[in-house]
Structure 1
């Protein structure tokens, strides 16, 4: 399939480039985070509560990660366009750079897709039919780096029709298969539902089918999203989601081994401008995970206020609290980070690049509540300090 897709892309690219009156555009996108630090005088180690799906990231990312992508658009005389993109990533452990003496990085293709935009008039004028591997309408919480809805197919391929304008919103449908070809997911979503002034809703549903050597069961997921813009000088997003069996992970690849499992989650997050200089990112999360009779409840709440001193410098404070309750035990992690960042002439919460100096302190309920026990041993708290560079474009 990969060879066929490569051939198709090459052929259509040549056709588009040589077509009369065709206009070519391209854009570049990228992301990089990399840093050095020490935890308790040893290797840089992230603090994440066992049973929590993510962590509060400021001063708490011991990995390096980078992406680089190129997107292209060939616009024809009739206004339709051939679109597509390629993106690769590199990832690894920051400690490889300064401690271990070995550089072991993972390199992978994250996107390779092709589409045709502008299928007709009316509802189809801005719609796109596409095929390949791509980042597909992802939703995330920045300060935890949590993609709480992620129908991007990392290992397999997919295709669909997106952004059909029905007046009251836009309809998108897609189908995905994972790399093992043992899970197939169908997704549909109705976006941009206007519910009031600066209030927008979205409804999504998915069905995941297991085949071949998959040990799990078919499942479905329902997602409800709400976004309020121009609130406290920023925005707020809220979601209520429920999925079971193969669809319980809210992802395109599906969970081929999920059997008698359901996940219900609610989240809210947003960004507020308190004053001209002070901005506040906030999030709250609750998730119920029912897995073959093993019940896990995970709750999380966090804030990151930022004070913009001037166009080159800001101060950041991140406070996060995670709590996991299982049938057998209760675990809690509180994490605090203070960072001073140089912003290279830009100002604001989203200003990048940033070079940060940080110190992080975490405390947890009991020994073993967080991972990386070779560093923390039987301790119930730890401190990390270091430098991190982050940028995107």
Structure 2
């Protein structure tokens, strides 16, 4: 028998031993077209700081296939996902295709805690994001392994080791040791989650890493409300994580090992949430303050703040009008910067919830570079974009 036939037979036999064969198809997509008054095409201008609605210029998609198998008290899940991004300028065009996830996850195989999950492979690892600004403030996804949801009283401990870059020519590689404790009960409908990520480099023969190891600490206070939820987040980072906390909207997945960030540190405070404001109104928001010192080779200081609000009026179960305003300003090495946006969109969605998708929206966005940095062409500090976009997850 050919090798491939043996493998096929083994797969068929193992699937037959499971309780069912039902592939889980999941994913995400956004695609659309925009016309700009200044640059011609649609724009994406500082969307993490001023909001993403009517402020995206790409097509992006994720297609996931997963299979869950049951054998006795054990549950095995095989997950895979292909992701693609391109500018959408043509009907048939090259784009970036990556295998974003392929991992095996097993629950019920660890005798000390049947509810814990053992995993290995490449996965989206417990990502934390704010949807209205497309910002992952904690994202250590990658290739690795670990154990999730170890019971410690009412709380859940997760530990993982995930690779973070490799330079074969320099004989060096980076890793993230990620430890999280979730479900720390505080008061009514309030809980705390803490995460510590230690990023370190390993040198091979004749390898030399100039960058110091760094620590990123995160605390997430989640408050459930009768009309929604609110989260307050505090994060602090050292060395290569310091610049991520302060200068750009980093998530923890990138680390500078050049040595330029060894003396740096940074922190940020975030508040965000979604709530109902009556029978027909719903609103999401983001408030953030970011600050850092001794960043980069020049040891600069920086600080900035961001305000984004997205109120939505629901005409009925399908049609809604969405507004989004955002402002982001601060200074880097005593040089001011600033940007602002206002968007109005008429949208139709599968349901009346803030999170209801699929959604098709027609929008107009007014973008402002408040410091006149020629963001939209020579001498241009404003732009107006009209467009149509679809967004969905399933």
Alignment of 1:120-131 (within 5 A): 120=110, 124-131=113-120
The secondary structure found in structure 1 opposite 2:200 is strand
The match for 2:222 among 206, 223, 227 is: 227
Q: 1:331 to 1:14 in 2, by over 3 A?
A: same
- Residues 16, 22 of structure 1: 8 Å contact kept: no
Alignment of 1:1-393 (within 5 A): 16-19=14-17, 22-40=19-37, 42-49=39-46, 54-77=49-72, 79-94=73-88, 96-97=89-90, 103-120=93-110, 124-153=113-142, 157-180=143-166, 182-212=173-203, 214-229=209-224, 231-248=225-242, 249=244, 250-252=251-253, 254-257=255-258, 258-290=261-293, 291-292=295-296, 293-343=299-349, 345-368=350-373, 370=375, 375-393=376-394
1:124 positional shift: 1.2
CA distance in 1, matches of 2:8, 2:284: 43
- Residues 82, 116 of structure 1: 8 Å contact kept: yes
Q: 1:388 to 1:175 in 2, by over 3 A?
A: same
CA distance in 2, matches of 1:135, 1:91: 17
Q: 1:306 to 1:264 in 2, by over 3 A?
A: same
- Residues 243, 264 of structure 1: 8 Å contact kept: yes
- Give the alignment's Cα RMSD to 1 decimal: 2.3
The secondary structure found in structure 2 opposite 1:59 is coil
- Residues 54, 364 of structure 2: 8 Å contact kept: yes
1:306 positional shift: 0.3
CA distance in 2, matches of 1:296, 1:217: 21
CA distance in 1, matches of 2:37, 2:101: 38
- Residues 59, 87 of structure 2: 8 Å contact kept: yes
The secondary structure found in structure 2 opposite 1:196 is coil
CA distance in 1, matches of 2:377, 2:115: 54
Q: 1:57 to 1:118 in 2, by over 3 A?
A: same
- Residues 50, 327 of structure 2: 8 Å contact kept: no
Instruction: State the TM-score, normalized to the length of structure 2.
Output: 0.87
Q: 1:69 to 1:53 in 2, by over 3 A?
A: same
CA distance in 1, matches of 2:310, 2:10: 46
The secondary structure found in structure 1 opposite 2:315 is strand
- Residues 50, 307 of structure 2: 8 Å contact kept: no
Q: Which moved more, 1:102-111 or 1:139-148?
A: 102-111
CA distance in 2, matches of 1:10, 1:209: 41
Per-residue Cα deviation, 1:173-210 (whole angstroms, up to 9, x for no partner): 00011241621110101001111111010111111112
CA distance in 1, matches of 2:152, 2:22: 28
2:247 is aligned to: none
CA distance in 2, matches of 1:281, 1:339: 15
Q: 1:252 to 1:42 in 2, by over 3 A?
A: closer
1:53 positional shift: 5.4
1:4 is aligned to: none
1:276 positional shift: 1.5
- Residues 272, 287 of structure 2: 8 Å contact kept: yes
CA distance in 1, matches of 2:377, 2:322: 26
Instruction: State the TM-score, normalized to the length of structure 1.
Output: 0.87
CA distance in 1, matches of 2:65, 2:197: 29
The secondary structure found in structure 1 opposite 2:23 is strand
CA distance in 2, matches of 1:176, 1:43: 42
Q: 1:139 to 1:340 in 2, by over 3 A?
A: same
Q: 1:72 to 1:255 in 2, by over 3 A?
A: farther
- Residues 312, 346 of structure 1: 8 Å contact kept: yes
CA distance in 2, matches of 1:11, 1:149: 41
Per-residue Cα deviation, 1:100-123 (whole angstroms, up to 9, x for no partner): xx72311111101112211346x6
CA distance in 2, matches of 1:111, 1:129: 16
CA distance in 2, matches of 1:33, 1:134: 21
- Residues 50, 325 of structure 2: 8 Å contact kept: no
